[in-house]
Amino acid sequence: MVERQIEARGIHNPRVLSAMREIPRHLFIPPPYDQSAYDDNPLPIGNGQTISQPYIVALMTDLLRPEPSDNVLEIGAGSGYQAAILSRLVRRLTTMERISAVAILARNNVTSLGIQNVEVVEGDGTQGYPQNAPYDGIIVTAATPEIPQTLTDQLADGGRLVAPVGGRDIQELVTLEKQGDIMIPECHGGVRFVPLIGKHGWEN
């Protein structure tokens, strides 16, 4: 999976590649789709939600430029795969999930791998999680019409945010880097995510 889907598409950050090699993706996918865990696509995890395509997880992780001392926030835990990858790359990760059953799934999955630096919080991630802010990185793994200011407010100076921004069906992968009062945007191509539903996202 890592060689064919990720390295072949130009991701060479050795820390990202080794985290992707270490975390078994099939543990994050309920049957029967776990059989297809190493395929090149997203898969259903129940409750109408999905686990992201491996390449997209690698790309977003790489764009976040995670450092070992970083405190990071993820919005949209899903079954916890992206969170497990990031747990190998940063000091502390808070991941938010709005659907209770999915939050429980994520919590069980990270716990069963013995991961101790991830906190799964049930709630509306469009409001962020000020209790653990400021964050060196914020990764939004659901599609948002625009990046909520609540989130950029919780970003540390020099921090980076990665998010799929656009319509309900198709979005552009965007990064923002906070430099004092300025946010520096960059675009990284088209993606498809399930909608971010909440106060500062889609209505439903």
Binding site for ligand SAH (CB under 6 A): 49-52, 75-78, 81-82, 96-99, 102, 124-126, 141-142, 194, 196-198, 201
In the complex, the smallest distance separating the C-beta of residue 138 from ligand SAH, rounded to whole angstroms, is: 12
In the complex, the smallest distance separating the C-beta of residue 176 from ligand SAH, rounded to whole angstroms, is: 18
In the complex, the smallest distance separating the C-beta of residue 88 from ligand SAH, rounded to whole angstroms, is: 14
3-state secondary structure of 71: strand
In the complex, the smallest distance separating the C-beta of residue 179 from ligand SAH, rounded to whole angstroms, is: 27
Closest CA to 126 of 199, 195, 185: 199
DSSP state of 194: -
> Is the Cβ of residue 71 or residue 79 nearer to ligand SAH in the bound state?
79
Q: How far is CA 68 from the centre of its chain?
A: 17
CB atoms within 10 A of CB 128: 25
> Is the Cβ of residue 182 or residue 204 nearer to ligand SAH in the bound state?
204
> Is the Cβ of residue 178 or residue 193 nearer to ligand SAH in the bound state?
193
Alpha helices in the chain (DSSP H): 14-22, 54-64, 81-87, 100-112, 149-153
Q: Please identify which of the residues 18, 36, 52, 112 carries the catalytic annotation.
A: 52
Residue type, 30: P
Total residues found in the chain within this entry: 204
Known catalytic membership, residue 52? yes
Please give the positions annotated as active site: 52
